[in-house]
Amino acid sequence: MEAQILGIHHVTAIAAAPQPNIDFYTGFLGMRLVKKTVNFDDPGTYHFYYGDHTGSPGSILTFFPWPGARRGFHGSGQVTVTSFAVPKGSIGRWEEKARAHAISTDFIATRFDEEVLSLRDPDGLQLELVGSLEPSEGDSIGKIHSATISEEGYERTAKLLTDTMGFRLTKEHSNRFRYEVAAGGPGATVDVLCTPDLRRGSGGAGTVHHIAWRTPSDEQQFVWHRELIDLRYNVSPVMDRQYFHSIYFREPGGVLFEIATDPPGFTIDEPLESLGTGLMLPPEYESMRKRIESALPEITTVH
């Protein structure tokens, strides 16, 4: 079996206070909170999943909100920008909306023939809105357009992407190299920036923890696991994340990569119409529900 990467599955970042995070992503960006759970490795901390209406793979941005977390530093060896796809022609309206919400933005730029608006969330996470979808009645976010990885030297990362993971170099400008996989386009794109003079990044609030790539099945994930071990990467065992299964490894530049399965999805423990309304715990934590709920900060969500 030839293993496939279909594109981006999700991006996971770190936040500080949970309420401003919810207000920004559901209020300003209009994403749906499709799952409210806990960090499976630290059940005293929330884990929020934002995405489209169904929480489809490729639309998901997740957060570990640690109240009081110090700010991280953006630099090399990190995913430094997460970009969302929005309808073509909507960037100007997004800029107006940001101004109305007192959210500062950078000037509208054009990159590879697409309009791009740069902004930051309450913790300083670097985001972009990219006018790349066909015009529609609304201006809502469709999916993750791409991620930008900053590297001290990009060649070994590029070799992993192209020789092992099936990406292809499609565009380049100055120190930016664009790679696409499968059908390409929004959701299947990563930009690698060669930034030899940039200081090494450090984790904390406002930084990306890891990026996950889509694979369609457990069988294909097993093939990836075996291949990465053969290539002498230190790969984690398969981990059950309830809504997908995951393996983790660090690419040559130091970014934590995950390969996550598309199934089983977010409706495994909640119906579609009520996604994100309850605090969902994995079975091993249900006996500790009262203790976990009492330790978590109170939050308000709108559905």
Q: Which CATH number does the domain housing residue 215 bear? A: 3.10.180.10
- Sign of the CA dihedral with 136 first, then 31, 266, and 132 last: positive
Three-state DSSP class for residue 224: helix
User: For 229-238, how does the pLDDT look when each residue is reduced to its tens digit (9 = 90+)?
Assistant: 999 999 999 9
DSSP 5-32: --EEEEEEEEESSHHHHHIIIIIIS--E
Q: Do the domain assignments include residue 301?
A: no
- Sign of the CA dihedral with 163 first, then 2, 251, and 184 last: positive
pLDDT of residue 302: 78
Q: Do the domain assignments include residue 2?
A: no
What is the average per-residue pLDDT within 137-145?
92
CB 60 within 8 A of CB 10: yes
Q: Do the domain assignments include residue 35?
A: yes
pLDDT of residue 107: 82
Q: Do the domain assignments include residue 195?
A: yes
Q: Do the domain assignments include residue 202?
A: yes
The pTM (predicted TM-score) of the whole model is: 0.97
What is the number of domains present in the chain? 1
pLDDT of residue 3: 87
Structural domain of residue 63, as residue ranges?
7-295
The rounded percent of the chain whose pLDDT value lies above 70 is 100
Q: Do the domain assignments include residue 303?
A: no
Q: What confidence category does residue 164 fall into, taking pLDDT thresholds of 50, 70 and 90?
A: very high
pLDDT of residue 231: 97
What is the average per-residue pLDDT within 62-66?
97
Q: Is the pLDDT of residue 166 over 90?
A: yes
Q: Do the domain assignments include residue 94?
A: yes
Q: Do the domain assignments include residue 196?
A: yes
Q: Is the pLDDT of residue 303 over 80?
A: no
**Mean pLDDT for all residues in the chain:** 96
pLDDT of residue 137: 79
Three-state DSSP class for residue 211: strand
